[in-house]
Chain A
Amino acid sequence: MSATTAPRQVAEQAIPRQVRTANARSRETLIGAAMASPAVILLVVFFLVPVALAFGLAFTNARLISPRPPRFVGADNFIRLFGDSFFWASLRNTAYFAVVVVPVQAGLALVLALLANAKVRGTNFFRTVYFAPVVTSMVVISLLWRFIYQPDGLLNQIISAVTFGHSHGTDWLNNPTTAMPAIMFMSVWQAVGFHMIIWLAGLQTIPRDLYEAASLDGASAWKTFTHVTWPSLRATRTFILITITIGALSLFTQINVMTQGGPLDRTTTVVFMAVRAGYEQQSTGYAAAVSLVFFVLVLTVSGVQRFLTREKA
């Protein structure tokens, strides 16, 4: 019945409102753009431009210091790269590091978080202790651990003291079989505190009443963990998985300070190879090709992880 009058009423009221909302919207868009611009500019200058440059340079023979302009060489860099045993060693080590460090570090961080989340005295003390290595520079830590690992270093002293001189340990960083595990151990020790804090944050978002309900139902500690804690940590889990993976794949500082990729290529990584090719050897084009492969690798791995951990409808 109101069909004849309603449109006009709507129209009369709507006109000023539409103008108002349109104005408000454009103002919001402007403010939004203004607020986003610092981040966008930084992203463009320090991410998009370098990536685009790397993409372009990877197909040239550009050199860090050269009197000649770079020349397009097609897939030459990639052909050389895939025929280079150093590259395959780097890739293998990077994968080895990631496959071990991601689960170990995430798991250990969760255990520490559960301990630090317990209602006992002195939790703040433990949180600080676990977090201390995180705020220390990786270069400093690598230097320290290089002393710990050297033949007459702290670790070997402890080993011979504990075994009453029967066992002496090895030259950890110069022994091809122990170099990478030694670096893994140190890296996990350094970074585990950071992920412990993230797990802790996740744990503290779990509502208390879920635990109360569980205890009323008489659930054991293990049952409580598998049915309450673990499912509630889904978002945290995804975040931790992806950040550790990307961190592990870009392993560089420890290698650069502690082993320089040796002994016998056992600790060289893709990022280390890119830096070595680009700066030490001044082969900018070749280094760009390595970086491009690395970029695709990280993108693929985190894409797969994102897919596997997606919210299933």
Chain B
Amino acid sequence: MQQITKRSIGAVALVCAAAVGLQACSSGSSDSGSTTEGGVTTLELWTHNGGNPVELAVNKKVVDAFNASQSKYKVKLQSFPQAAYNDAVTAAAAAKKLPCVMDIDGPNVPNWAWAGYLQPLDLPSGFFDKQLPSTLGKVDNKLYSFGHYDVAMNLTARKSVLTQYGIRIPTIDKPWTGEEFDAAVGKIKAGGKYAYPLDLGTAGTGEWIPYAYSPMLQSFGGDLVNRDGYQTAKGALNGPDALKWATWFRSMITKGYAQQKSGKDSAVDFVNGKSAIMWNGSWAADTVTKKYGADVVFLPPPDFGKGPKIGGASWQWGMSSACAAKDGALEYLKFSAKPQYYVDYAKALGLIPANTDAAAQVPAYAPGGKYRIFLELSQKYAEVRPVTPAYPFISSTFQKAVSDILAGGDAQKILDKAAADIDSNIKSNGNYAY
């Protein structure tokens, strides 16, 4: 590999930029992301928060506190706009310019770990005892990343509307069954006040689709891929349970309960009284609470047979495999995992603090707090997206399948094709063996 690289650096660089990951290109020195000068090692840290001043301010606060706490290392923060972040990391990996510390969207962790961008975090066992399990990036039983926060999908409704139609208000221990849920939406629809009582957020695209709808599929008993080894989607994505899910999902449209393409912003439609029940993430909680106050209830998803399910994992922190100052990076990650920073993130962003000690210090998430349910939903029902490098392909395939099912295509055919596409992708990538 080294010889090839020396002979035709240009051509290989192009090929690398276009196609190949870090390892195929690695030659000679593969260390990057840090410099040492006068006994102080400077580490680079990358974040996707370039367009998000609130979160970026917390990032800066943690970095500044770390820099002030010791004199051996200095962390230098670099922010990117979220839309360009993944591309920047991919390009940096090809050019061997990865920073030491970076943040990663949860579902990307296995892919990047497989590609050799990340290295496992060498932390003492029990270090993350208080951590919300859905916010740990574990691949092959090795920990690659951890997050400061998570979000939770939930059914948002108004107590007054539910009681008006004589609908039982479900609790986290006794959620609606599938039939109960259908009946509840049917009653509201029959009331005639709402043209489309249920807002499933079908206007969403991209990663929203698997994040919002694959938990429902799992609750029916299906899944995106067979999680036992992640070698095939057959049976999981196109089995009888998956078909039941697809049929049910489409029936929400045909019965006129939900729109095939909902409004751009579900929370705005809910606040304006266009929908009675909304399937949305906890990020919308502040908006709806501001409007309806104590009338708002956040409900667990229905149990379609295999228990209520929601998605887990948001942005997380990890260390690049090329990091030349591994000790410093680990030092920083340990420092940033103090409960007080979980509190800072939760307070600034209104998201679920991913640490139980920290949750107790944030009033909304402390026991009895108005958003405590989100933490409980995450603890009890969160399921991480398939931990496989095939995930980007699976996600894209599922997005298309959902859109076709919503449009009224033949569900069995759509699911069969999706499963076959995923299987052939897994096969053509050598089963994604590590």
A interface with B by C-beta (< 8 Å): 49, 53, 57, 60-70, 73, 76, 80, 85, 150-151, 171, 173-174, 176, 260-265, 276, 280-285
Q: Is the CB of A174 within 8 A of B407?
A: yes
Q: Quick one: given A260-B205, A263-B403, A276-B396, are A68 and B430 in contact (CB under 8 Å)?
A: yes
| Alpha-carbon distance A53/B14, docked complex (angstroms) | 9
B32 CB-CB contact with A under 8 Å: no
| Alpha-carbon distance A280/B428, docked complex (angstroms) | 17
- CB of B37 to closest CB in A, whole Å: 32
- CB of A255 to closest CB in B, whole Å: 13
Can you name 25 A-B pairs with beta carbons within 8 Å?
A53-B15, A61-B428, A61-B429, A62-B18, A64-B19, A64-B90, A65-B111, A65-B115, A66-B21, A66-B115, A67-B22, A67-B23, A67-B116, A68-B21, A70-B15, A70-B19, A76-B428, A80-B424, A174-B260, A260-B400, A264-B404, A264-B407, A264-B409, A281-B396, A283-B425
B271 CB-CB contact with A under 8 Å: no
B248 CB-CB contact with A under 8 Å: no
B128 CB-CB contact with A under 8 Å: no
| Alpha-carbon distance A53/B392, docked complex (angstroms) | 23
Q: Is the CB of A262 within 8 A of B18?
A: no
Which of B18, B117, B261 contacts A57, CB < 8 Å?
B18
* Interface SS of chain B: helix
Known: A67-B21, A260-B399. 15 other contacts (CB 8 A): A61-B429, A62-B15, A65-B93, A66-B429, A68-B23, A68-B430, A150-B261, A171-B261, A173-B261, A261-B400, A261-B403, A262-B400, A263-B406, A264-B408, A283-B393
- CB of A142 to closest CB in B, whole Å: 14
- Residues of B with C-beta under 8 A to A260: 205, 399-400, 403
Q: Quick one: given A280-B396, A281-B393, are A63 and B404 in contact (CB under 8 Å)?
A: no
- Residues of A with C-beta under 8 A to B97: none
Most B C-beta atoms less than 10 A away, residue of A62, A80, A263: A263
B296 CB-CB contact with A under 8 Å: no
- Residues of A with C-beta under 8 A to B116: 67
Task: For the complex of A and B, list the 9 residue pairs with the smallest distance between their C-beta atoms, beginning with the closest.
Answer: A263-B407, A62-B19, A280-B396, A69-B24, A262-B403, A65-B115, A284-B19, A281-B393, A67-B23
Q: Is the CB of A68 within 8 A of B24?
A: yes
| Alpha-carbon distance A261/B408, docked complex (angstroms) | 15
Q: Is the CB of A85 within 8 A of B417?
A: yes
> Chain B, interface size: which category?
35 or more
- Residues of B with C-beta under 8 A to A70: 15, 19-20
B112 CB-CB contact with A under 8 Å: yes
- CB of B18 to closest CB in A, whole Å: 6
Q: Quick one: given A62-B19, A262-B403, A263-B403, are A67 and B260 in contact (CB under 8 Å)?
A: no
| Alpha-carbon distance A228/B70, docked complex (angstroms) | 85
B397 CB-CB contact with A under 8 Å: yes
- CB of A110 to closest CB in B, whole Å: 37
In the complex, per-residue mask of B7-49: 1 if CB is within 8 Å of any chain A CB, else 0: 0000000110011111110000000000000000000000000
| Alpha-carbon distance A281/B397, docked complex (angstroms) | 8
| Alpha-carbon distance A66/B18, docked complex (angstroms) | 11
- Residues of A with C-beta under 8 A to B429: 61, 63, 66
In the complex, per-residue mask of B311-339: 1 if CB is within 8 Å of any chain A CB, else 0: 00000000000000000000000000000
| Alpha-carbon distance A57/B392, docked complex (angstroms) | 20
- Residues of A with C-beta under 8 A to B23: 67-68
- CB of A4 to closest CB in B, whole Å: 62
| Alpha-carbon distance A29/B407, docked complex (angstroms) | 62
- CB of B45 to closest CB in A, whole Å: 21
- CB of B419 to closest CB in A, whole Å: 14
B114 CB-CB contact with A under 8 Å: yes
- Residues of B with C-beta under 8 A to A63: 19, 21, 429
- CB of A283 to closest CB in B, whole Å: 7
- CB of B266 to closest CB in A, whole Å: 15
Most A C-beta atoms less than 10 A away, residue of B19, B114, B261, B403: B19
Q: Is the CB of A65 within 8 A of B21?
A: yes
